[in-house]
Amino acid sequence: MIYTIERANMITDQLRRFKSGYAHHVVGQFANIDFWLNEVLEAQKTIDQYNSRFNNIRDIQKNWINSHGTKVYDYCPHCGGKCELSNGTPSPPNRISSSDMNETRRNLVNSAYYFLTRCYRMGLLNDDELKQKCDLIGTSIDPNDLKK
């Protein structure tokens, strides 16, 4: 499981559903808008701090492997057991690509943005409130999205 991505995607999916739901459903979710925007902020933070968490994992694993002489031999189908070509040094963890991270972050912000603009068009947010909430999640407003 890729925690950072899955967490953000869960929130993205949720907000996407709000945006296209019946008006009375949107109103219901709007009652908790501050909760949802906070979820977006937390997920953004989780994404933005990923590289530093990843480096912690990589570095401490490397130190452990070096100081303990850790060897791991995966089953090799060719050798029928321990691979004769492997020196047994465990492979480092895989880093999620920054393009995957950026795309996840963009989808998250967009889904929150479309929910906010739907609320605006329904008259649940005024101009100032919309602007303030968009600033909070770090997105600008396209005037085309505000036409009622």
Query: For Zn ion, which stretch binds (CB under 5 A), given 19-27, 42-50, 80-88, 112-120?
Result: 80-88
- One-letter amino acid of 28: G
Using an 8 Å Cβ cutoff, are 71 and 88 in contact? Answer: yes
- Phi–psi pair at 97, nearest 5 degrees: -65, 150
Task: Identify which of residues 30 and 73 has a Cβ nearer to Zn ion in the complex.
Answer: 73
Least Cβ distance, residue 89 to Zn ion (angstroms) = 15
Query: For Zn ion, which stretch binds (CB under 5 A), given 16-24, 44-52, 77-85, 124-132?
Result: 77-85
Using CA atoms, how far apart are residues 127 and 120, in angstroms rounded to an integer? 8
> Could you say which of 10, 57, 79, 146 contacts Zn ion (CB under 5 A)?
79
User: β-pairing, 75-76 with 81-82?
Assistant: antiparallel
Q: Which residues bind Zn ion (CB under 5 A)?
A: 76, 78-79, 83
